[in-house]
Amino acid sequence: MDLKLLLCMFLVYQHNFKVLHWKAKGHAFNYMHDLANTYYLKLETDADTIAEICISLGIDPVSYMECAETISSSEMKFLVLSANTDYEIETFLSNSILMFNNMIESMETLITPDSPIGVKVELENMIAYYYKQANFILKRPSED
Ligand SMILES: [Fe+2]
């Protein structure tokens, strides 16, 4: 895992949340539609932060094409959600939790004793947010 791969992960997962926003279906539609959009916006902000960390360390960010090529050639398994299917509450929750756990694990591997303090703090704040979503908020879904 490196920062460029992490950036690709956030860009792909950001899009996955847009797919969940669009293709949510069933009794919990409003809950999923709104929450997926909230996560989409959060990942957009965090991807921007990661891209700016990359630049501060002399690493170029990625184009859309580079991002697609990077994830398809990576040994790491990325979750790419199909937009040709509907998502009911169970698959919405399991896919969201899986993405957040992938992101948390990836960020944890990038925090080392040598990490610049500013980078460490940004990643730790993101981990705290996604950890809370995966282990608390998404474990108590609305019945609406
Ligand atoms: Fe929308």
Q: Which domain CATH number covers 29? A: 1.20.1260.10
CA of 64 to the centre of ligand 1 (A): 21
Q: How far apart are CA 18 and CA 16, in angstroms?
A: 5
Residue 143 — pLDDT band, cuts 50, 70, 90?
confident
The predicted pLDDT at position 54 comes to: 96
Q: What is the pTM of this model?
A: 0.95
CA of 73 to the centre of ligand 1 (A): 31
CA of 49 to the centre of ligand 1 (A): 23
Cβ atoms 6, 14 nearer than 8 A: no
The predicted pLDDT at position 144 comes to: 65
Q: Is residue 99 part of a domain?
A: yes
| pLDDT tens for each residue of 103-129 | 999 999 999 999 999 999 999 999 999
Q: Is residue 27 part of a domain?
A: yes
Residue 9 — pLDDT band, cuts 50, 70, 90?
very high
Provide the domain count of the chain.
1
Name the β-bridge partners of 79.
none
Q: Which residues contact 43 (CB under 8 A, 6 or more apart)?
A: 10, 13, 14, 17
| pLDDT tens for each residue of 15-39 | 999 999 999 999 999 999 999 999 9
| pLDDT tens for each residue of 48-97 | 999 999 999 999 999 999 999 999 999 988 999 999 999 999 999 999 99
CA of 21 to the centre of ligand 1 (A): 7
CA of 22 to the centre of ligand 1 (A): 7
Domain enclosing residue 117, as ranges? 3-139
Q: Is residue 42 part of a domain?
A: yes
CA of 23 to the centre of ligand 1 (A): 10
CA of 74 to the centre of ligand 1 (A): 30
Name the β-bridge partners of 24.
87
Q: Is residue 96 part of a domain?
A: yes
CA of 66 to the centre of ligand 1 (A): 26
Considering only CA atoms, give the Rg of the chain. Answer: 15
Q: Is residue 144 part of a domain?
A: no
| CA 10 to chain CA centroid, nearest Å | 4
